[in-house]
Chains A and B, each alone.
Chain A
Amino acid sequence: MYKRNKYKVKSNKKIAKNVYEMILEGDTTYIVRPGQFINIEIDEFYLRRPISVCDYDSETITVIYKVVGNGTEKMSTLKEGEILDILTGLGNGFSEKASGERPLLIGGGVGTPPMYNLCKKLIEQGKKPIVVLGFGAIDEVFYEDKFKKLGAQVLISTVDGSYGTKGFVTDIIKQLKDYTYYYACGPKNMLKAVYDIAVGDGELSFEEKMGCGFGACMGCTCKTKNGDKRLCKHGPVLKKEEIIW
């Protein structure tokens, strides 16, 4: 279930090149699973902006977003204390149950945020996640320490080799063997590459341009082996076996 509510910006700060972390205060009761998203109204923009929940507790929601256009640029100028109109509790989210003992969590760029709350939940359940994060260069890397503090093993790749393994997340994943299941979120070409080389079952989180974010407009439909799905409602997370590329 999803609801509209007002949220107060508690903080909004730059954490890497063009990447911001924003903490929002307000009702979080409709967020029930990692991998869900919220839809944020920004002044002067007609459509809301969908952003994944990075973490949440009983009073706050943390999101991490990259400035890619005018909407996110405006978002980056929001000041502490400003009030935002937001829909929360959107999307299906990841299923923690399927994880097994040693799940692999894969995040590409701003596909990393939803992995954080997932990682936290899995560790709380006594699982031993391996987190693989891919970025362009060293100045884009964020949340490495936060994942480590949760107790996860963290491996990082950068395209230019300025930090961690040179190349893509798949260059790291190729070397890994003993993972039980995988979760991935990132750009579509990364998801496809992961899908092609990762072994065993997994689930992947997709993006699409959205009109509403809650299943009313059919703007975000994709074909799956289980029929047509609206990514905002029956996604953004799809099981590996149902994906049609």
Chain B
Amino acid sequence: MVDTNNEKTYDLSVNLGDFKLDNPVIPASGTFGFGYEFEDYYDLNILGSISLKGTTKDARFGNPTPRIAECKKGLINSIGLQNPGIDAVIEKEIPRLRYSYKKKVIANISGFSIEEYKECCEKIDKVEEVAIIELNISCPNVHNGGMAFGTSPEAAKEVTKVAKEVTTKPVYVKLTPNVTNIVEIAKACEEGGADGICLINTLLGMRIDLKTKKPTIANKMGGFSGPAIFPVALRMVYQVYEAVNIPIIGVGGIETADDVIEMMLAGATAVEVGAANLKNPYACKEIIDDLPIKMKKYGIENLKNIIGMAHQ
């Protein structure tokens, strides 16, 4: 963007490895459907990229309802990875998104065994529209799988390795905050060959309905996200930035351009916006529109230059 008042240009572009983004703002997996749910609201091509709904080998209905509980400054979800399965995502959902979105996307892959992760990565490897594979080893909403891979460094390393063996696409591993030592998990992923780290997924939480005196959501517990978790996400991005040499996508509680800048100062190269899209379908657009204004305010001409600046 060119600022006509004082002839300054603001450069919002960032690079996740070889993947060049016009700006760092990416809707987070699970909060943007397969993208086209938002095409009536604004031109999706203004987005840096889009992270698609978590995809598994087979179609999944997900967890019983209610799956949503409101919190102060956030919500708990227990969707349970509802998705039509990898084949339908490749044959139907990604081509459907193509009508309104011309840039490359991020495929979010989940599994219940190493074999499932492997099979999905093999299949998605052939899809031209996919720039990055986001390996979700952090879903708190499914039993025996998902988060289990994300809470042990050995398992995290193993699943990263297997994914890297079957694809030439960059693999970013998405981490759960529900661990005592996030750094050790991130390092294990880097050792396993990860091209980047994405963090954080949701925090395990719950609500109890005062009227029924029972847990609000059917699965009792679920993943807490929204603005309340921003400080936790920021702290983890900061810690991981010090420990690894691969790009980081910062996620968790981002709602404003200020949050994006803060997350990048902590060490994120790009950011994902989750719950904010559900509350305000224009959230990503508003953040992108506001970024140059905030860059001017804080004396930033090139966003790339502020990545990890808080560490200097």
Contact = CB atoms under 8 A, between A and B. Distances in A.
Interface of A is mostly: loop
A2 B38 CA distance: 10
B204 to A, nearest CB: 17
A227 to B, nearest CB: 9
| Chain B contact residues, majority secondary structure | loop
Contacts of A212: 277-279, 281
Nearest to A1: B40
| 3 shortest interchain CB distances as A-B pairs | A212-B278, A219-B68, A209-B66
Contacts of B169: none
Place the interface of chain A in its size category: 20 to 34
Interface stretch (B2-10, B70-78, B186-194): B70-78
A218 B82 contact: yes
A217 B79 contact: yes
Interface in A1-36: 1-4
A46 B74 contact: yes
A47 interface: yes
Contacts of A209: 65-69
Contact of A218 (B53, B66, B281): B53
26 contacts: A2-B40, A4-B41, A4-B280, A4-B281, A45-B70, A46-B73, A46-B226, A69-B211, A209-B67, A211-B278, A212-B278, A212-B279, A212-B281, A214-B281, A215-B37, A216-B33, A216-B37, A217-B30, A217-B77, A218-B30, A218-B53, A218-B67, A218-B82, A219-B77, A221-B61, A233-B37
Contacts of A4: 41, 280-282
Contacts of A75: none
A73 interface: no
Given A47-B278, A217-B31, A219-B68, 17 more contacts: A1-B40, A4-B280, A46-B279, A47-B279, A87-B281, A209-B67, A210-B68, A216-B31, A216-B281, A217-B30, A218-B79, A218-B82, A219-B67, A221-B65, A221-B82, A222-B65, A223-B61
B205 interface: no
Interface in B65-105: 65-75, 77, 79, 82
Interface string B265-289: 0000000000001111110000000
A128 interface: no
Contacts of B67: 209, 211, 218-221
A208 interface: yes
A228 B82 contact: yes
Interface residues on B, range: 20 to 34
A3 B39 CA distance: 11
A66 interface: no
Contact of A217 (B40, B278, B282): B278
B62 interface: yes
Contacts of B282: 4
Contact of B79 (A41, A47, A219): A219
Nearest to A49: B70
Interface string A216-245: 111111110000100001000000000000
A206 to B, nearest CB: 10
